[in-house]
Structure 1
Amino acid sequence: MMDEISSFLNKIRYSKHCIYCEGINESISRPKHHPSYEFTSECNLDCLFCYSRIAKLKGLAPKPGYYGNLKPKAITISQFGEPFSVGEEKVALTIDKLREIFGEVRIDIQTNGTYDLGLMDGRADIILVSLNAASSESFQKITRRDMFNEVIKNIKRASEFCYTIVRSIYMPGLNDHEIRKIAEIGSIADEFFLQPLTIYEENHELLKYVDVGRVESIYEYLSAVYELSENVNVRIPGCLLLNLRQFARNYDLSKIIYIKRNAFGKIPRIKRKWRFVL
């Protein structure tokens, strides 16, 4: 298995969303995510793993506006909250204004997939839709809402007009038993983006379900990605892939079985400078 994973590390690709992010450049010691436009920290779901809720609890949720450098190649809408909770028309108008300011910058929209996406046709370059469950029952357990069918419908809809990513978080003890099925559902999109879980201690309900030891295991995560790659176009975060390849160059890769990552996040906040609001 280790030989297969070693070969796999040379072949696996990072998400298209990661292109232009500083995290894929090993010459940058303290990389930042590419710029984002934030609308709100509010969301119509209540996911067990949510970091936006933690930022709100600590009074650190970002104020609305543009964060990052003024010569962007890509802009994410948005990193906190559900952007479409402010209305699809407002998001569409903001994208139009961002293009007036920055030209043909790539627009990546992160959404929970529960809102209509029709106005994004011709505006979004990439749409990332979160999906962490393979059934209505599991979806309700993780998001505490019954909107699974809406998400599936909107994944299909987005896939008709732009590059669509189904993004899922690998949560051992919570959704690992159906990750293959989630990936199969996600195969209707252009890529399946699997990310490791970051745990915030304030998310007490999440800690009741996940196996922290397995969450911290890099080998378990890589094994899951490898197995999924046989059937779907699975991608991983570019910053993680960079670090894994650096590890493989400098150490015996078999040691990765024993390596644990710190899965506990600190205070979620944007590290980029706030510039303006539209």
Structure 2
Amino acid sequence: MGIEVERLENKEARELKKFVDELIAPTHCQFCQGLDLSIDNPVHHPSYELTPACNHDCIFCYSNVAVKLGKAPKPGYYGWESPKAITISQYGEPLLSPRIVEVNKMLRKRFPEARLDLQTNGSLLTEELWQKLDFDLVMISLDAASREKHKMITNADTFDKVVNALKIVGSDKSVRSIVRTIFMPGINDDDIPKIAELVASLGVDEMMLQPLTIHKLNEERLKRAGLDFERAESVRELLKVAMEAKKYIDVRISGCLLVQLKRMDALTLYNVYKVSREVAPLVKRERKEV
């Protein structure tokens, strides 16, 4: 019996290794220093922060943690001259800001060669607003496949609005459309393939599947929601869900994690855990006037 189990595990390990070797980094991660393992302390590509406020209150949110600890960045540009990509934004919901269109136009003019990425929960994106925006890539967060589960995770009854936003960007082939999903086993692991199937039907190009980072201030909320903490840190469990979702859409996992996994042999990959626990997220880039 033990030998048979070992054979099955070795077979699964080889399948996971093959899957990882064939994966490419998410489009959003391209140009990020995290893809270069020779850099000791890599930083994310530049961002323009508009507001730390958000109309969602997600149970896992790092921006919430930063606000509570007084660590949220002030509005402005965090980066350097001649960036290859800029994200609006990494904290809060940028579409809450009345300056979103103005800043979008300013960045396009100031950094004409840079790829502009919009990261949003999608609940405020309308056709009217979309016609005023000019982005190369749009990431919309969705972590549930039903209205009820979405409301439990986000504390907002906005599922239909988020799906509509995915439909808007999915139908615009001038941009790269991405659904950004956080892997929370015990909470949404069964939802992830369903999310992939749903957004693929809306024309979305890619799913960016990310492991959960557990912050101390969110631990109790995640526990009450049913998070399986051990599985949340298992790379094997993340990859198994990614393989299921891959049946429906182009699934990719965080680039900085992927480059490390590609260096591992099959058995190490099968047994490795990513310990993702932080007190508070910090912006490592300098704030500059633009």
Kindly state the Cα deviation for residue 256 of structure 1 after the two structures are TM-superposed. Answer: 2.9
Partner deviation per Cα, 1:214-261 (whole Å, 9 max, x = no partner): 11111111111122223321111111110001223xxxx213333222
Moved more, 154-163 or 41-50: 154-163
Choose the corresponding residue for 1:201, options 199, 202, 216: 216
Note the C-alpha offset of 1:105: 1.4
- 1:242 alignment partner, one of 242, 250, 259: 259
**Alignment-derived partner of residue 114 in structure 2:** 105
The within-5 A match list for 1:7-18 is: 7-18=18-29
Q: Residue in 1 aligned with 2:89?
A: 78
- Distance of aligned partners of 1:205 and 1:78 in 2 relative to their CA distance in 1, 3 Å threshold: same
1:257 to 243, 257, 270: 270
Within 1, Cα distance between the matches of 2:111 and 2:48?
13
8 Å Cα contact 1:75/1:108 also seen in 2:
yes
Task: Indicate the residue corresponding to 1:214 in structure 2.
Answer: 231
* Unaligned stretches of 5+ residues in structure 2: 1-11
Query: Hey, what's the Cα distance between the residues in 2 that align with 1:255 and 1:41?
Result: 39
Aligned to 1:275: 288
- Aligned-partner Cα distance in 1 for 2:34–2:43: 7
Aligned-partner residue type, residue 111 of structure 1: T
Q: Structure 1: how far apart are the matches of 2:276 and 2:42?
A: 19
Quote the sequence identity (%): 41
1:200 Cα deviation after fit: 0.8
Task: Output the TM-score relative to the length of structure 2.
Answer: 0.90
Say whether the 8 Å CA contact 2:261–2:269 is kept in structure 1.
Answer: no
Question: Which structure 1 residue ranges, 5 or more long, are not aligned?
Answer: none
CA RMSD of aligned residues (A): 1.4
Pairwise CA distance, 1:7: 1.3
Q: Runs of 4 or more off by more than 3 Å in structure 1?
A: 117-122
- Partner SS state of residue 168, structure 2: helix
Give the counterpart letter for 1:59 in structure 2: G
Looking at structure 2, the residues matched to 26 and 263 of structure 1 have their Cα atoms a distance apart, in angstroms, of: 18
Deviation at 1:117, TM superposition (A): 4.5
- Between Structure 1 and Structure 2, how many residues are aligned? 271
Aligned residue type for 2:211:
P
2:139 aligned counterpart, secondary structure: strand
Where do 1:32-181 residues align within 5 Å? 32-87=43-98, 90-118=99-127, 119-121=129-131, 123-161=134-172, 162-181=175-194
Structure 1 residue matching 2:117: 3-state secondary structure? strand
